[in-house]
Chains A and B, each alone.
Chain A
């Protein structure tokens, strides 16, 4: 990826934001910002295959913004480790998305696979 996902300043401190790096039409990953620290995770709950997590666009956190929460069944995850500490997928982990920050801009640091299910009759390559 040559274009940045966003500027660090685009993400409010303590909040989350969803991204769609491949233009698939849905956010397939999200970033949580804590100060200058950024945590990138796939928008896929380990409870179900291909399960989207946001409870609303860009909303991936509990009300006190202390944990990541899945809007499907309320599973809660540590923001920094992705470990599920409450709910259906207890003990499982989110899939990390490696990020790189250059001059205040956020880039993907590794190849990125599609996040949506394939269209009918078309398997992913």
Chain B
């Protein structure tokens, strides 16, 4: 089944204006906005839709009150959508829309939609790094540090559910939708990628009690570590609350920076994730601070080594 990955996540929120400001400040592009909410996308047209929590057009909310209302997957072609309809139609209601997309729920009640992907092909330069011993990636007189650089998230990278039954949910994505397990945190959850995707993960899940069901975070890929740092610094400067990062994960190797967010889930900038094919042998380890990251830093105010402290400065 040629599922590429998440095209769009749909949320039902309490404060639409705060969500809009957060998503704009993250660098996402406002594709649509009205009193009913709107959609914000990355360079490839994948993105986030926010509506009011009580919007009747949204799929039903989870009992936990979580804001995530629907996960929309993009498929390579209509044949894949049709194959999913046939497969899942065997044991649950699958509703087909006139545009050929289908909606249903996974085995723990997450509302899903499958469609021919709305991703738009795009090309954009990579982060160019000069490394001694290798040919220069950035040529002569090309300046690397541009504080005013535009930093637009490129594509919706992955999402992470709090799952009331990790084994059941994993089995659904692996056995029914042919996702592949790339790595695993023992007793916590698997990292999964769909068949038409080579990213280390587009889906992860964390086993939790039922009352916690919802979304731990979602992430967008940035150009590279520098753009991630720039985008995260801009969020700090605008008053948004850093939750974890910047740092670099071990599984997936992606750089990360998580922020609290008025969508009431974490928003993650990520960059430079590992790619895998079917030759990859999954790893497994216990999760904890040492295994979750290679290193972790925290943003502080800008500083410059010069002169003595000003008179009367309060030192804590």
B242 (CB) vs chain A CBs: closest residue: A52
| Chain A positions within 8 Å of B242 at CB level | 52
Q: B216 at the A/B interface (Cβ < 8 Å)?
A: yes
Residue among A63, A71, A90 with the highest chain B CB neighbour number at 10 A: A71
Please give the number of chain A residues whose Cβ is less than 8 angstroms from any Cβ of chain B in the complex: 27
Interface contact B214-A73, CB-CB below 8 Å: yes
Interface contact B241-A54, CB-CB below 8 Å: yes
Q: B125 at the A/B interface (Cβ < 8 Å)?
A: no
Known: A64-B14, A71-B262, A73-B215. 9 other contacts (CB 8 A): A56-B240, A57-B240, A57-B241, A59-B18, A62-B14, A63-B18, A70-B260, A71-B261, A87-B212
**Could you show 11 A-B contacts with beta carbons less than 8 Å apart?**
A52-B242, A55-B264, A71-B264, A72-B243, A72-B265, A73-B212, A76-B65, A86-B64, A87-B212, A88-B211, A88-B214
Interface contact A87-B260, CB-CB below 8 Å: no
Docked pose: A87 CA to B301 CA in angstroms: 33
Interface contact A55-B214, CB-CB below 8 Å: no
Main secondary structure of the interface of A (DSSP, over half): loop
B212 (CB) vs chain A CBs: closest residue: A88
Docked pose: A25 CA to B316 CA in angstroms: 11
**Contact of A52 with B243 at beta-carbon distance under 8 Å, contacts A63-B14, A71-B260 already known:** yes
- Among all A-B residue pairs, the 6 with the closest Cβ atoms: A74-B264, A71-B260, A23-B316, A57-B239, A63-B15, A88-B212
Interface contact B65-A86, CB-CB below 8 Å: yes
Interface contact B208-A88, CB-CB below 8 Å: yes
| Chain B positions within 8 Å of A6 at CB level | none
Interface contact A54-B260, CB-CB below 8 Å: yes
Q: B35 at the A/B interface (Cβ < 8 Å)?
A: no
Interface contact A74-B66, CB-CB below 8 Å: yes
| Chain A positions within 8 Å of B212 at CB level | 73, 87-88, 90
User: For the side of the interface on B, what is the size category?
Assistant: 20 to 34
Docked pose: A17 CA to B301 CA in angstroms: 20
Interface residues of B (CB under 8 A from A): 14-15, 18, 22, 64-67, 162, 208, 211-212, 214-216, 239-243, 260-262, 264-266, 300-301, 314, 316
Docked pose: A52 CA to B208 CA in angstroms: 20
| Chain A positions within 8 Å of B216 at CB level | 73
Q: A68 at the A/B interface (Cβ < 8 Å)?
A: no
| Chain B positions within 8 Å of A105 at CB level | none
Interface contact A74-B243, CB-CB below 8 Å: no
**Contact of A74 with B260 at beta-carbon distance under 8 Å, contacts A25-B300, A52-B241, A56-B18 already known:** no
| Chain B positions within 8 Å of A86 at CB level | 64-65
B13 (CB) vs chain A CBs: closest residue: A63
| Chain B positions within 8 Å of A25 at CB level | 300-301
Q: A22 at the A/B interface (Cβ < 8 Å)?
A: yes
